[in-house]
Structure 1
Amino acid sequence: MNSDDAVQLDEVTKSLLDLSDECILGTINECFGRNYKAGIAKVVSINPKFIRPMMDFDEIEVDLVLEIDGIKYHIEIQTLNDGEMQIRLVEYGIYIAKKTAKLDKDGVMTIHMPRQAVIFIEQNSGIKDQKIKLIAPDNQEITYSIPTIRLWEYDIKKLMSKQMYNFLPLVVFSYRKKLKSIVNSTSKKKDKPKEIEQLKEELLQTIIEINAEMKILINEKIIKTEDAHTISLAMTNLVEYLNHKFINDNKLTGEVMSMTKTLYDPIIEKRGEKRGEKRGEINGRLKEKFSIAKSLLDVLEDNIIAIKTGLSLEEVQKLREENDGN
């Protein structure tokens, strides 16, 4: 995976961590063995960006930091296996803990490390349960385990049962390894076009299943329409990535966009009418989104702009065409 691909996936996963409590708390519960309920637990988002004065004041950004009922939680999402993950967890944990570190009257500094977990997205047999051993100068040892989630072990049914709704789109990403294996195969016996076509059909069926579950979640008001929009955008972006890298079907991305648009557009419109939203207010917010998107055209790809602004990929692409024509 090259750096551009990594940046795109990073943006997608971060958008899935920036959803409502209804979408996020199931993931927190699964990672840490808790039983938080949306509307009951007090959830506070903590700024994930930290300045490192000793490193020329550069900025680091962790994936997710929340304080729930007074307890801090930190989650990192990792696409591939990383031998330095534990080191980063210690570093990030200290930066998070620094904000509430206290020096008592005896000169003892108390540092409360956050509860941490790592979620690995792509299947890899080399991924081990994360453990950290800290050894003090006097040889005192502290060894602790970091909850390690292997997301490829969670299919749509399991994600739904665990209420890990924010990760539904990442089921789509599980096709990357299979597609890559076919494309990179040197076997002369393989019928690559046929195998890719078969996986494409499986991928479309997966999207249909995700959409069906999403429709239930929206209709039963389990998640917000804004969540559905972000999840649909994430799913579309992941399909576009797979299509560009491996499948190369000119119609695939548009087909998926139509499927997801059919899912959430009528529901959003219906709820908007029920809430009595004024057309002027809606147009004002939409105009602001387009203004932001236009300012990003020179620095970001269309799919990233869609995620950041909440516009559809089709709207961003049309905006770029209009901008290039001027």
Structure 2
Amino acid sequence: MFEYDLLYAKQKYYEKRKQNDDKIVFHMPEDIIIFIGENNIPNHMDMKIVLPDEQEKDYEIPVMKCSQYSTQEMIQNKLYPLLPLQLFNFKEELLKLNKEKTENKDKIDDQMQKVMQSAKQTAEEIIKLQESGKINPEDMHILLLAISNLFKYLNSKYGNDTKLNEKVNIIIKTLYDSIVEERGIKIGEIRGIISTYIEFKLEDDEIINKLKSNLNIDDEKANKYLNNYYKENKK
């Protein structure tokens, strides 16, 4: 981390320096280390810098432990990009159960149900954030996909029930559909909508029907939007 901070300070110095500067001044950034799903770590990382004249300088970087923040606390602190990481709060327990996977199958299944419920609740909060204008549609799209992908990761590593992946996709897609139906959509946002449906493994005819229904457009325009998307993204 110190190496990164030093490189950052050096870069900023060269970006802002003036020709008549007679002293190099590095302004170290204010940063933080984020740990996911870990509790047995210190509240800050310390480093001691010893100068050639033996002067010592302590360099301390605070640590944030995501597992200590509830969903509402993250929202209150505007930590919106970290919301999908709520799913990792179940990882430690899943890791313990996975050591004796056969004997703990029922417990693992129960735990994955809790992860799925957390995915639903977190997705609902993200939808609310978009509805209130605290995040934009593109951010909502990214965060919802992150929830889906993180659930699939945990499920493949510990639960391995493919039906649960489909259930989570349906839950998130249903929430996504509802907000698309409720608001006017700009042309630029249609790309994000199509991309989301593709991520949720919808076939082309299903995507076209969704566009027709949600955007109140005819078959010709829906096909045009989809074809343009594929051209731009070189399917």
Same-fold call, TM cutoff 0.5: yes
Spell out, residue by residue over 1:214-272, the C-alpha distance to the aligned partner (whole angstroms, 9 max, x if none). 23212222211111111111111111111111101120111111111111233235434
**Is the Cα–Cα contact under 8 Å of residues 48 and 56 in structure 2 kept in the other structure?**
yes
Q: Could you tell me how far apart the structure 2 residues matched to 1:245 and 1:115 are? A: 35
Match of 1:201 in 2: 113
Q: Could you tell me how far apart the structure 1 residues matched to 2:196 and 2:12 are? A: 34
1:180 to 57, 79, 95: 95
Match of 1:253 in 2: 165
Q: Could you tell me how far apart the structure 2 residues matched to 1:106 and 1:207 are? A: 53
Aligned length in residues? 201
Kindly tell me: are residues 147 and 311 of structure 1, through their superposed partners in 2, closer, same or farther at Cα, counting changes over 3 Å? Answer: farther
3-state SS of 1:119 partner: strand
Normalising by structure 1, what TM-score?
0.55
Please, which runs of 5 or more residues in structure 1 have no aligned partner?
A: 1-88, 291-308, 319-326
Q: Could you tell me how far apart the structure 2 residues matched to 1:197 and 1:310 are? A: 28
1:223-238 correspondence to structure 2 within 5 Å: 223-238=135-150
Q: Which moved more, 1:228-237 or 1:159-168?
A: 159-168
Spell out, residue by residue over 1:278-326, the C-alpha distance to the aligned partner (whole angstroms, 9 max, x if none). xxx777x57xx99xxxxxxxxxxxxxxxxxx7664334999xxxxxxxx
Match of 2:124 in 1: 212
| Structure with the higher fraction of residues in helix conformation | 2
2:76 to 156, 161, 173: 161
1:64-79 correspondence to structure 2 within 5 Å: none
Q: Could you tell me how far apart the structure 2 residues matched to 1:311 and 1:127 are? A: 42
**Is the Cα–Cα contact under 8 Å of residues 172 and 239 in structure 1 kept in the other structure?**
yes
Normalising by structure 2, what TM-score?
0.74
2:4 to 92, 103, 111: 92
Please, which runs of 5 or more residues in structure 2 have no aligned partner?
A: 205-235
Higher relative contact order (CA 8 A, sep 6+): 1
Q: Could you tell me how far apart the structure 1 residues matched to 2:9 and 2:202 are? A: 40
Using the TM superposition, give the Cα deviation of residue 117 of structure 1 relative to its aligned residue in structure 2, in angstroms.
1.0
Kindly tell me: are residues 196 and 153 of structure 1, through their superposed partners in 2, closer, same or farther at Cα, counting changes over 3 Å? Answer: same
3-state SS of 1:266 partner: helix
Counterpart of 1:182, as a letter, is L
Q: Could you tell me how far apart the structure 1 residues matched to 2:147 and 2:87 are? A: 7
**Is the Cα–Cα contact under 8 Å of residues 129 and 147 in structure 1 kept in the other structure?**
yes
2:36 to 121, 124, 133: 121
Counterpart of 1:228, as a letter, is M
Match of 2:133 in 1: 221
CA RMSD of aligned residues (A): 2.9
3-state SS of 2:28 partner: coil
Q: Could you tell me how far apart the structure 2 residues matched to 1:271 and 1:137 are? A: 63
Q: Name the % identity.
A: 29
Counterpart of 1:254, as a letter, is E
